[in-house]
Amino acid sequence: MSSRFAKKWEEGDLKGIKGVLNPSEPLRTKVELAIKRIETQIQYIEDVLNRLSERDKYLFSRVVDAYSRHQMQRARVLANELAELRKMANFMMNAELALERVVLRLRTVSQLGNVVSTLTPAVQVLQNVRVGLSGFLPSAERELGQVSTILNELIVEAGGVTGLTPNFETASDDAQKILEEAALVAEQKMREKFPELPSIKSAEGSEENEFSK
């Protein structure tokens, strides 16, 4: 890191009239604040996922019960409700894992000081998650919007010191990789956490065969 950037990273603006009248926080402090705020949202999403998991277990048991009683219409209605719940859980898990990867990137910033190239894809991931959460968790959407603003200001501030400008094409590729990696892990975790439903169509076919005998 250049000495000018290192000073701004550790101390902020402490000199001159502007620094005296309106001192800015060190870049390191701003990054650490962003990490804490994102981690708060990760915990919030985790709490929501736990509630969805409990609801899933309840619905699953009711589907199995209806299935065992050959109440196929009831089983189908419950299975549809369960399928919608799992779609939401899958998205939440994607969001949680993507945010965890953003936090990992932000932690490398505090080690390397490579603010512009590291934060630009992280902001794009945050924006993607934020838009998706707006229909489910509006408070999380608002909070991540504020964090995105902080990180964008950091990028501009760091760019002003280092002379580096964001490469949005590379950043988009990196952001896509983060989202794809999160989706892959989420798919695996969904299979582990949520048991597969019994096949209602197969059950109906078996029942018809019994009556035709």
- What is the distance between the alpha carbons of residues 153 and 137, in angstroms, rounded to a whole number? 25
Residue 110's identity, in one-letter code, is S
Q: Can you give the pLDDT at residue 83?
A: 92
Q: Is residue 13 part of a domain?
A: no
Share of the chain above pLDDT 90, in %: 50
CATH code of the domain covering residue 30? 1.20.1270
129, 144 in Cβ contact below 8 A?
yes
Domain that holds residue 193: 26-199
148, 126 in Cβ contact below 8 A?
yes
Q: Is residue 163 part of a domain?
A: yes
Q: Is residue 207 part of a domain?
A: no
Q: Is residue 183 part of a domain?
A: yes
User: What is the C-alpha R_g of the chain?
Assistant: 24
Q: Is residue 54 part of a domain?
A: yes
Q: Is residue 12 part of a domain?
A: no
Domains in the chain: how many in total?
1
H runs (alpha helix) in 113-199: 115-133, 138-162, 168-193
Instruction: Report residue 173 as tokens.
Output: 């590729």
Instruction: Report residue 66 as tokens.
Output: 């209806």
CA-nearest of 95, 82, 81, 89 to 50 is 89
pLDDT tens by residue, 24-77? 678 888 889 999 999 999 999 999 999 999 999 999 999 999 988 989 999 999
Q: Is residue 18 part of a domain?
A: no
In the predicted model, what is the mean pLDDT of residues 96-115? 84
Q: Is residue 34 part of a domain?
A: yes
Cut 0.75: pTM above it: yes
53, 193 in Cβ contact below 8 A?
yes
Instruction: Report residue 67 as tokens.
Output: 């299935």
